[in-house]
């Protein structure tokens, strides 16, 4: 049928039309979409869709409920969301239960400070009241964090997260302590632990950080008490001294021994009428430092073992200092304080760099000192109180703070003539993670989890030699393997990403001392142990602890403070030691890492939608000392297994120069600000665009590049959506075999990129997802495919099969793009999805990732790669012609190609595609080029410009009804009029 009047030509061109705006307007659009998801109850819908699918469990490491989120916290949660959403879209049932770490020192110190500002002291309040304020603080902080995490587009059980301070969780924490007791891995003993003088509590390995610190370095001489002839006859009758070196002069009052290596050679050399002993290898170095001259007369050389169990005298106190041998003594080596060595070892190593081969040993102030002191039966002597002051028994220095006492001690030794040399010494030294003050190593009675020993050896005697525990009632039937051995074997079974994680964790477990789990604090889970008021026997029975745990489950851990001991013990419980029924309660709480480490049991086993063990944990590298570590030990106590199958480590967020971000330094990128300006999507895309296995850099400039990348992806989606206007998939889809060849090429590209993206998601390599999608969008699509099909889409009759062919492929592309972006650009992918025709699911987050197409595309890509290579040459020639003002737009050009052989064959085969491929009006093909390839000539196109399609043609004006259009447009217009 022909209409009466000719059509308005402009209206016959199919211009793109879509509600998917070019400008994203994310800052406004995202909250609206969150509201939409809320109304849909999207997370529930996803859960329901996942029913019956295989489970995939990513277990959330709980962030500390204390402060607002920063870029690092946002990045951590976004990476987790990438995992949850991608595994969901791979067809797994992937619930997400977020958690919060609520107990511990940071909140306590915050609350204490807040009280101080109001002129109140912690001790003015009852423990219950203080705990209530801490709880309220944690609640407030976690609410604000939850709001921020939701704003980032993260879906999960936000209404029901796990809290380490919930009744159930506190009860499970106590039950896990019972489990350790049951396995014979708990003991109470006095051994050196990190101690913060300001916060007055023991600290775990994970709670110290290393900073540069200046200490006095001293060389001190200790007189030999034993007969020198016992070492070597040449020394008979001489005044012999042993030279030690230390950077902690304040530990010298606690010196009880000197340790040498049994196999090293030591030398005794003359200085005036005195004789000094140091390791032979260090004689020159020590003599140089101490100004003893260079022409030294060595009187004797002997192995360290010669000194074993001889006696020195303390440098100034009237008591012996035992000579001992230990394999841990070294002669040098760089200090490596950054690794998970404890302070004494880190310090020993650095000591030996400048040392003497004779190690000052204070069993109350160092791990190695403690171990060797125990072996030689020395007292674990620690004359330092909780605040770090010397106790009254310390002659000359009683009441002084240890760090303040360093200089007076040095002066005192100088006056006494026992100091050979002192200087300032810079080294890495452990500091408290909270208050940033240097910590000390100090022996106090603490609860420990034993890494090595069998449980019968763990009953530590108190000062009176009395057994303070009744663990003998709880002997396991078969003695368990040591916790360390089990941990080391489990580590090998875990998949660590990146692979260096396995070494890091192995070293961590190999070197760590017993786990000190007691803290002299209030805000946490109390160590549920009772002491007999009459005979001091400790009750740490699993059944009793579980009884207390049941009370926690009903009333929360506050019950420990609100009930007297009698109400917490099973009714009628009597002391096994003396039959008394009066009790006191342990006042220490458990290490917060014990709390959070319990999460696999308290959460994964408690919620029906989850299961133990988790498939994956993902956190920053600091968790090798923290959560990865405590979770592993608790997993072993619970089930003899690691609680995770895969552990992923992400890097830190740094500024563009690789420095840490600090608000005060002005280089911090604040998520809240970015969200307000550009949208959460930009932070998400930044996370995906950066390789998170390394440190991740961010700055305004970097985020601007990410925004540009976002725009490219958005424009790609918009082009596809705009050209799908009027396309009804059910009616208009063209079967694969009938598609235009370039459209099949685009499908081959789609299949290639889909495979790449699926593999990257599988391997948690989100940066490779982004790279693959970005390159696909910019190279294959924007620069090639979209460019080439524009003419067909715009100028062909709407229902023309060739146009439908392109649309068929565009729909596949837009659909796959939305799906593949779904886990990353959660808002934008959903918006794309909304604008696609006929989607079954109401949100992209209910859809699955695309499958790579199974069509056989082998022949296509290589053929088209050759055509695109020729195209690149042609486009270059066109550009040159444009610069030379020979032509204006490329449609004003005619391209003449000369080729031979296979190149000619290829071009001939695709002759009808070439004008579209080059976006020119005419292409002439001829024989003639000798080598492989084609010669290109550009000339002005023949004929006149068609008003409708802007191509040039000699046939413009053939049809008088539309005198200004070309023959192609004539055909299109005829089609349009017929279909009208
Ligand atoms: Zn501190
Ligand atoms: Zn008793
Ligand atoms: Zn035309």
Dump pLDDT digits (tens) for 167-189.
999 999 999 999 999 998 999 98
CA of 566 to the centre of ligand 2 (A): 14
Q: How confident is the model at residue 930 (pLDDT cuts 50, 70, 90)?
A: low
Q: How far apart are CA 721 and CA 24, in angstroms?
A: 14
CA of 576 to the centre of ligand 2 (A): 6
CA of 543 to the centre of ligand 2 (A): 18
SS3 of 206, please? Answer: helix
CA of 890 to the centre of ligand 3 (A): 15
**Closest ligand relative to 436 C-alpha:** 1
CA of 582 to the centre of ligand 2 (A): 8
**Closest ligand relative to 521 C-alpha:** 1
**Closest ligand relative to 958 C-alpha:** 3
Tell me the mean pLDDT in the region 396-406: 95
- 105 close to 592: Cβ distance less than 8 angstroms: yes
Q: How far apart are CA 586 and CA 723, in angstroms?
A: 73
Residues, beta carbon < 5 Å, ion ligand 1: 196, 198-199, 432, 434-435
CA of 536 to the centre of ligand 2 (A): 6
Q: How far apart are CA 219 and CA 201, in angstroms?
A: 31
Q: Which residues of 241-276 are buried (b: 16+ CB within 10 A; e: fewer)?
A: bbbbbbbbbbbbbbbbbbbbbbebebbbbebeeebb
Contacts of 827 (CB under 8 A, 6+ apart): 26, 29, 30, 33, 153, 679, 680, 681
* Alpha helical stretches, state H, 556-699: 559-562, 565-568, 592-597, 599, 627-639, 671-677, 680-689
CA of 482 to the centre of ligand 1 (A): 32
Q: How far apart are CA 505 and CA 327, in angstroms?
A: 24
CA of 724 to the centre of ligand 3 (A): 22
**Closest ligand relative to 577 C-alpha:** 2
CA of 16 to the centre of ligand 3 (A): 18
Q: CA-CA distances (angstroms) from residue 241 to 225, 275, 277, 309, 361?
A: 9, 6, 6, 16, 16
CA of 946 to the centre of ligand 3 (A): 5
CA of 980 to the centre of ligand 3 (A): 19
Tell me the mean pLDDT in the region 396-424: 95
CA of 533 to the centre of ligand 2 (A): 7
**Closest ligand relative to 574 C-alpha:** 2
CB-CB neighbours of 763 under 10 Å: 11
Residue 52 CA to its chain's centroid (Å): 31
DSSP string, 126-140: -HHHHHHHHHHHHHH
Q: How far apart are CA 862 and CA 410, in angstroms?
A: 80
Q: How far apart are CA 586 and CA 538, in angstroms?
A: 9
CA of 819 to the centre of ligand 1 (A): 49
**Closest ligand relative to 437 C-alpha:** 1
CA of 510 to the centre of ligand 1 (A): 27
Tell me the mean pLDDT in the region 915-938: 86
Q: H or E segment at 897?
A: strand 893-899
Give per-residue pLDDT as tens, 137-159: 999 999 999 999 999 999 999 99
pLDDT for the residue 122: 84
**Crossing angle of helices 801-821/786-795, nearest 10°?**
130
CA of 443 to the centre of ligand 2 (A): 26
Highest-pLDDT range among 343-352, 474-483, 935-944: 935-944
Average pLDDT, the chain: 91
CA of 873 to the centre of ligand 3 (A): 26
Paired tokens of 68 = 């607002």
pLDDT for the residue 757: 98
pLDDT for the residue 858: 66
DSSP 1: -
Sheet holding 893-899: strands in order across? Answer: 922-927, 893-899, 934-940
Contacts of 657 (CB under 8 A, 6+ apart): none
Quick one: which of 382, 141, 409 has its CA closest to 249?
409
CA of 593 to the centre of ligand 2 (A): 32
Q: How confident is the model at residue 3 (pLDDT cuts 50, 70, 90)?
A: low
Burial class (CB in 10 A: 0-12, 13-18, 19+), 765: middle
Tell me the mean pLDDT in the region 497-509: 95
Burial class (CB in 10 A: 0-12, 13-18, 19+), 309: exposed
pLDDT for the residue 353: 52
Higher pLDDT, 152 or 209: 152
**Closest ligand relative to 537 C-alpha:** 2
Higher pLDDT, 472 or 847: 847
pLDDT for the residue 513: 85
CA of 197 to the centre of ligand 1 (A): 7
Q: How confident is the model at residue 458 (pLDDT cuts 50, 70, 90)?
A: very low
CA of 198 to the centre of ligand 1 (A): 5
pLDDT for the residue 456: 46
pLDDT for the residue 257: 97
Residue 686, φ and ψ in degrees, nearest 5: -60, -45
SS3 of 952, please? Answer: strand
**Closest ligand relative to 952 C-alpha:** 3
CA of 468 to the centre of ligand 3 (A): 98
CA of 620 to the centre of ligand 2 (A): 47
**Closest ligand relative to 581 C-alpha:** 2
Q: How confident is the model at residue 338 (pLDDT cuts 50, 70, 90)?
A: very low
Higher pLDDT, 219 or 852: 219
**Closest ligand relative to 583 C-alpha:** 2
pLDDT for the residue 270: 95
DSSP 55: B
Give per-residue pLDDT as tens, 612-626: 999 999 999 999 999
Give per-residue pLDDT as tens, 236-259: 999 999 999 999 999 999 999 999
Contacts of 896 (CB under 8 A, 6+ apart): 923, 924, 926, 936, 937, 938, 939
Residue 632, φ and ψ in degrees, nearest 5: -65, -50
Tell me the mean pLDDT in the region 686-701: 95
Q: pLDDT at residue 918 above 90?
A: yes
Q: pLDDT at residue 840 above 60?
A: yes
Sheet strands (E) in 340-413: 358-361
CA of 574 to the centre of ligand 2 (A): 8
**Closest ligand relative to 433 C-alpha:** 1
CA of 531 to the centre of ligand 2 (A): 8
Q: CA-CA distances (angstroms) from residue 442 to 114, 196, 324, 395?
A: 29, 9, 21, 19
Burial class (CB in 10 A: 0-12, 13-18, 19+), 555: middle
CA of 956 to the centre of ligand 3 (A): 8
**Closest ligand relative to 791 C-alpha:** 3
CA of 923 to the centre of ligand 3 (A): 16
SS3 of 746, please? Answer: helix
DSSP string, 632-673: HHHHHHHHSS-SEEEEEEE--EE-TTSPBP-TTTT-PPPHHH
pLDDT for the residue 121: 87
pLDDT above 70 covers a percentage of the chain that reads 94
Q: How confident is the model at residue 352 (pLDDT cuts 50, 70, 90)?
A: very low
Paired tokens of 746 = 């685009």
**Closest ligand relative to 582 C-alpha:** 2
Sheet holding 311-313: strands in order across? Answer: 311-313, 320-325, 257-260, 358-361
CA atoms within 13 A on the CB side of 196: 23
CA of 967 to the centre of ligand 3 (A): 7
**Closest ligand relative to 201 C-alpha:** 1
Q: pLDDT at residue 345 above 50?
A: no
CA of 875 to the centre of ligand 3 (A): 22
CA of 975 to the centre of ligand 3 (A): 14
pLDDT for the residue 206: 75
- 428 close to 213: Cβ distance less than 8 angstroms: yes
CA of 427 to the centre of ligand 1 (A): 20
Tell me the mean pLDDT in the region 340-354: 45
**Closest ligand relative to 575 C-alpha:** 2
**Closest ligand relative to 970 C-alpha:** 3
**Closest ligand relative to 971 C-alpha:** 3
Strand-pairing partners, residue 428, are 212
Give per-residue pLDDT as tens, 620-674: 999 999 999 999 999 999 999 999 999 999 999 999 999 988 888 888 899 999 9
Q: pLDDT at residue 563 above 90?
A: yes
Q: Which of 194-208, 305-319, 341-355, 825-839 has the lowest mean pLDDT?
A: 341-355
Tell me the mean pLDDT in the region 855-864: 75
CA of 971 to the centre of ligand 3 (A): 9
Cα angle: 587, vertex 534, 575; to 5 degrees: 85
Q: pLDDT at residue 591 above 90?
A: yes
CA of 953 to the centre of ligand 2 (A): 109
pLDDT for the residue 469: 39
Strand-pairing partners, residue 93, are 55
pLDDT above 90 covers a percentage of the chain that reads 80
pLDDT for the residue 444: 86
**Closest ligand relative to 891 C-alpha:** 3
Q: Which of 119-133, 301-315, 348-362, 419-433 has the lowest mean pLDDT?
A: 348-362
**Closest ligand relative to 943 C-alpha:** 3
């Amino acid at each position: 049928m022909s209409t009466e009047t000719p059509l308005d030509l402009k209206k016959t061109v199919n211009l793109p039309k879509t509600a998917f705006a070019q400008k994203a307007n994310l800052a406004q659009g995202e909250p609206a979409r969150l509201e939409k998801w809320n109304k849909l109850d999207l997370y529930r819908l996803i859960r329901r869709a996942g029913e019956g699918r295989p489970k995939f469990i990513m277990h959330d490491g709980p962030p500390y409920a204390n402060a607002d989120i920063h870029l690092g916290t946002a990045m951590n949660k976004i990476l987790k969301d990438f995992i949850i959403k991608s595994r969901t879209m791979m067809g797994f049932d992937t619930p997400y239960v977020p958690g919060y770490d609520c107990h511990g020192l940071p909140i306590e110190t915050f609350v204490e400070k807040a009280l101080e500002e109001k002129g109140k002291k912690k001790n003015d309040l009852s423990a219950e009241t203080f705990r209530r304020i801490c709880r309220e603080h944690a609640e407030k902080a976690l609410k604000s964090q939850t709001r921020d995490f939701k704003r980032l587009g993260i879906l999960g059980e936000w209404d029901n997260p796990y809290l380490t301070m919930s009744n159930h969780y506190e009860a499970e924490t106590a039950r896990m302590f019972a489990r350790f007791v049951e396995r014979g891995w708990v003991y109470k003993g006095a051994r050196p632990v990190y101690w913060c003088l300001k916060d007055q509590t023991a600290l775990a390995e994970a709670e110290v950080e290393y900073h540069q610190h200046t200490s006095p370095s001293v060389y001190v001489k200790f007189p030999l008490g034993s007969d020198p002839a016992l070492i070597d006859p040449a020394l008979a009758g001489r005044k012999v001294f042993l030279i030690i070196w230390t950077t902690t002069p304040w530990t010298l009052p606690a010196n009880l021994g000197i340790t040498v290596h049994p196999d090293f050679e030591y030398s005794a050399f003359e200085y005036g009428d005195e004789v000094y002993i140091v390791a032979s290898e260090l004689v020159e170095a020590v003599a140089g430092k101490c100004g003893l001259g260079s022409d030294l007369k060595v009187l004797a050389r002997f192995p360290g073992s010669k000194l074993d169990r001889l006696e020195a005298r303390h440098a100034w106190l009237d008591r012996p200092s035992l000579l001992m041998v230990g394999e841990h003594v070294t002669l040098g080596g760089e200090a490596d304080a950054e690794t998970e060595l404890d302070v004494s070892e880190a310090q020993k190593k650095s000591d030996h760099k400048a040392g003497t081969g004779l190690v000052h040993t204070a069993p109350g102030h160092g791990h190695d000192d403690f171990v060797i002191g125990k072996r030689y039966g020395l007292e674990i002597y620690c004359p330092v109180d909780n605040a770090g002051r010397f106790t009254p028994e310390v002659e000359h220095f009683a009441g002084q703070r240890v760090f303040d006492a360093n200089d007076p001690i040095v002066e005192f030794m100088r006056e006494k003539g026992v100091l050979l040399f002192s200087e300032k010494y810079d080294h890495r030294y452990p500091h408290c993670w909270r208050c940033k003050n240097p910590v000390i190593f100090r022996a106090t009675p603490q609860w420990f989890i034993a890494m090595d020993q069998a449980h019968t050896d763990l009953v530590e005697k108190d000062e009176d030699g009395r057994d303070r525990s009744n663990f003998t009632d709880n002997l396991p039937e078969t003695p368990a393997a040591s916790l360390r051995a089990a941990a080391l074997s489990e580590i090998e079974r875990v998949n660590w990403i990146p692979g260096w994680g396995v070494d890091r964790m192995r070293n961590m477990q190999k070197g760590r001392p017993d786990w000190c789990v007691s803290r002299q604090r209030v805000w946490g889970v109390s160590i549920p142990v009772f002491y007999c008021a009459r005979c001091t026997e400790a009750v740490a029975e699993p059944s009793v602890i579980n009884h207390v745990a049941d009370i926690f489950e009903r009333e929360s851990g506050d019950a420990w403070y609100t009930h007297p001991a009698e109400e917490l013990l099973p009714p009628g419980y009597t002391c096994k030691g003396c039959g008394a029924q009066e009790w006191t309660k342990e006042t220490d709480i458990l290490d917060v890492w014990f709390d959070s480490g319990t999460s696999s049991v308290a959460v994964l086993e408690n919620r029906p939608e989850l299961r133990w063990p988790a498939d994956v944990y993902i956190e920053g590298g600091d968790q090798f000392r923290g959560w990865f570590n405590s979770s592993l030990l608790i997993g072993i106590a619970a089930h003899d297994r690691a609680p995770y199958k895969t552990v992923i480590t992400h890097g830190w967020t740094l500024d563009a120069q690789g420095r840490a971000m600090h608000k005060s330094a002005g280089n911090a990128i604040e998520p809240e600000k970015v969200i307000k300006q550009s949208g959460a999507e930009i932070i998400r895309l930044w996370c995906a665009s950066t390789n998170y296995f390394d440190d991740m850099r961010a700055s305004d400039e970097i985020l601007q590049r990410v925004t540009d990348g976002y725009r490219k992806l958005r424009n790609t989606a918009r082009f596809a959506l705009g050209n799908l206007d009027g396309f009804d998939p059910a009616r208009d889809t063209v079967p694969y075999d009938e598609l235009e060849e370039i459209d099949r090429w685009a499908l081959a590209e789609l299949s290639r990129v889909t495979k790449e993206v699926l593999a990257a998601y599988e391997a948690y390599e989100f940066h490779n997802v982004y790279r693959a999608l970005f390159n696909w969008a910019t190279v294959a699509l924007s620069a090639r495919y979209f460019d080439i099909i524009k003419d067909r889409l715009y100028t062909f009759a709407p229902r023309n099969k060739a146009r439908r062919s392109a649309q068929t492929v565009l729909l596949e592309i837009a659909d796959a793009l939305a799906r593949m972006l779904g886990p990353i650009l959660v808002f934008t992918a959903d918006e794309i999805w909304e604008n696609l025709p006929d989607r079954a699911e109401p949100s992209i987050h209910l859809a699955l990732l695309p499958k790579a197409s199974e069509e056989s595309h082998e022949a296509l890509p290589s053929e088209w790669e050759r055509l695109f290579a020729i195209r690149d040459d042609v486009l270059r020639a066109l550009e040159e012609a444009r610069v030379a003002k020979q032509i204006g737009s490329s449609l004003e050009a005619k391209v003449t190609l000369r080729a031979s052989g296979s190149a000619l064959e290829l071009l001939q085969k695709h002759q009808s595609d070439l004008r579209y491929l080059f976006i020119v009006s005419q292409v002439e093909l001829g024989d003639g080029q000798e080598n492989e390839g084609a010669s290109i000539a550009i000339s002005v196109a023949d004929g006149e410009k068609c008003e409708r399609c802007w191509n040039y043609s000699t046939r413009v004006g053939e049809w008088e009804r539309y005198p200004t259009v070309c023959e192609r447009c004539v055909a299109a217009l005829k089609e349009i009029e017929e279909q009208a």
